[in-house]
Structure 1
């Protein structure tokens, strides 16, 4: 179970504690008391892991080999059947002013009407022989797939990363005709998206209601579909993925996992945690050997610099931990995929806490689950790609190395 972005840095306003240290988490603390704890570097020390690359590493794949960009995972996760040769992008519904300056990268955390906007984008014509496939994901997220001959994923991102700037001009990252063509098409796509959406009925209604309009699409994370060994084949386990965002669902799908959709799972701090809990418990009762669970709200709060909301969300998520711990004969691993400090409002390379509970685990002396207390734990400091080896050994399913 990965609490996305849960880890943080000490905050002055919290008495130099982290949100996890500040939050009341009796169930996580109980898990620490009956489990084995430590620190984890999702990829390796000091590397600022993305949610995608960290999950790939935690599942036992080499992110430096498998990862081609975020787009293909997002596209697969929202149900687009990507094909070899397709170039996929992760996108934001964003807000631009009359001068083309981005004033809100997430369009007011838009929740409704994105399907209608997607219909309009899918009517776009860029160039003969190039198909535009666009689909909304959760909240402000979406995916774009360009399908056609002579395309390349070797292009830069358009995302300015911060408000107050225009979308970046997309440029080729290699001197090929394919990269130049794709960069030109993407720049054209961004311009056309603004023309198509600035007077869209959904946006006119949002403006009337005082909400930021989703009047421009910002693509990033270009990538081609990777070839990976299915997770079930790799480990001999029957896997399932329960996640809120298209990105993590896509990683699960490309890894050959079954997917479980949860009603009301938004990927934000307003997500329906009760439904997520029920979905986990129902899925655990079925014929699966491995559950990958991702809960995203703490990461959203970190990116938005919402200190109090991050503390509150961690406290709410703690109740899920309590219910899952009631499952018998289960190895339960709780960790984060990266740190998303309030002070940085982005991912950092800080290690994250991890705890493993289950049969025959060598319980250590840690009594609280947070970034500092787990440093005294028996796992010491591991990397994300160690987790599956440790789990397979605990399950007595690993193969012996040597005689």
Structure 2
């Protein structure tokens, strides 16, 4: 038997007046997910704990059976590992946005017009950066999908205890990075970052990629905004922890990075963006191929577009994407045999909030000998009546490996 955790990132939501007080998932036409609910057992899940607002990183760690309060040091190391940077102990890693700044330093677009191409050329320029007074510190940039990038600082006397430069909303300057403790290492790292943000603008504002974007009426990616500082953590490999042969199918560097830290094989795909324009056909085909033709018996899958639409506050786009996933991906996943499928979200991203929330998310399990309940729809309201009741993310791997026949008895 194979075990599959399929996470639709940010799928959960809150009722919207424009959808007659339904959530986007409720309002969406999802016959295949509804069929999965009808054939399976359903419930609600708190990714970490009731009312705790999870990041995608801490939620996935919890769902994979790790205690995020113990192993999470910040998002940066997972992002860096996910895009192929070989981080080492002592490195301080950050996730970054390619953003758009005006001449006065005001951030006019945090995602640089959802840039898709040319970021590798911009990164090639940024990787020549040296900060005056800190020439011994190695600065490593690497592009990720879309507007995303990573930054790694390598050298002596650094700390991950620093704040973010991200202003969170357009119309403000990048925030001054500050030390979060009184250590000289944190003060040094904050000073490097503040100089790095300013220097990034000077280095890339006239980059050929940006000049072309301006000429074509698109927002230039002319400044780097780092956030999510973290030191490299150590985690027990998931294959050892649960005696599985695991793989990760994901679009974004963050989730691939979590998979790498957990020791999973990373299955890369063409044409995936982490947005609503992603190639769902490639994701579907990769899932089917891995289930039918690989030796992996446990798969973590993440599909990201609903979260992006939630952050944009675009209800129609989120609904449209959920429906497309149902038609393109779930229609085929529904046909899989000899597999347990755990379908859920890592968190809710309500349209009204434009960010993550602490609302519980819907879950369902399909597979042989599952105790089927009476629920016939897959949404936040219907599954509340399901047989799984209300679980936490930390319960998922225990439930799944028990169904797969991989769990061990506790006690005599």
* TM-score normalised per structure 1: 0.99
Aligned to 1:317: 325
Aligned to 2:78: 73
C-alpha distance in 2 between matches for 1:311 and 1:175:
47
1:3-402 → structure 2 map (5 Å cutoff):
3-126=8-131, 127-284=134-291, 285-319=293-327, 320-402=329-411
1:324 Cα deviation after fit: 1.2
Q: How many residues align?
A: 403
- Secondary structure in 1 aligned to 2:324? helix
- Secondary structure in 2 aligned to 1:165? coil
Q: Deviations over 1:270-316 (max 9, x none)?
A: 00000110011111121011000000000000000111110110001
1:399 Cα deviation after fit: 1.4
- Secondary structure in 2 aligned to 1:72? helix
C-alpha distance in 2 between matches for 1:146 and 1:217:
14
Unaligned runs of 5+ in 1: none
1:322 Cα deviation after fit: 1.6
Unaligned runs of 5+ in 2: 1-5
C-alpha distance in 1 between matches for 2:273 and 2:7:
16
Q: Deviations over 1:191-220 (max 9, x none)?
A: 000101111111111011110000000000
1:128 Cα deviation after fit: 1.8
C-alpha distance in 2 between matches for 1:401 and 1:78:
39
- Secondary structure in 2 aligned to 1:179? helix
1:37 Cα deviation after fit: 0.2
1:401 Cα deviation after fit: 1.6
C-alpha distance in 1 between matches for 2:90 and 2:23:
44
Q: Deviations over 1:332-375 (max 9, x none)?
A: 01000000001110000000000000011000000000000000
1:115 Cα deviation after fit: 0.2
C-alpha distance in 2 between matches for 1:222 and 1:139:
20
- Secondary structure in 2 aligned to 1:331? strand
Moved >3 Å (runs of 4+): none
- Secondary structure in 1 aligned to 2:317? helix
1:80 Cα deviation after fit: 0.2
Answer with 285-294 or 393-402: which moved more: 393-402
- Secondary structure in 2 aligned to 1:108? helix
Aligned to 2:3: none
- Secondary structure in 1 aligned to 2:113? coil
- Secondary structure in 2 aligned to 1:393? helix
- Secondary structure in 1 aligned to 2:136? coil
Tell me the C-alpha RMSD between the 2 structures.
0.6
* TM-score normalised per structure 2: 0.97
C-alpha distance in 2 between matches for 1:145 and 1:376:
46
Q: Deviations over 1:77-128 (max 9, x none)?
A: 0000000000000000000111101110000000000000000110100222
- Secondary structure in 2 aligned to 1:28? helix
C-alpha distance in 2 between matches for 1:82 and 1:298:
30
- Secondary structure in 1 aligned to 2:285? helix
C-alpha distance in 1 between matches for 2:333 and 2:371:
20
C-alpha distance in 2 between matches for 1:156 and 1:41:
27
C-alpha distance in 2 between matches for 1:306 and 1:338:
17
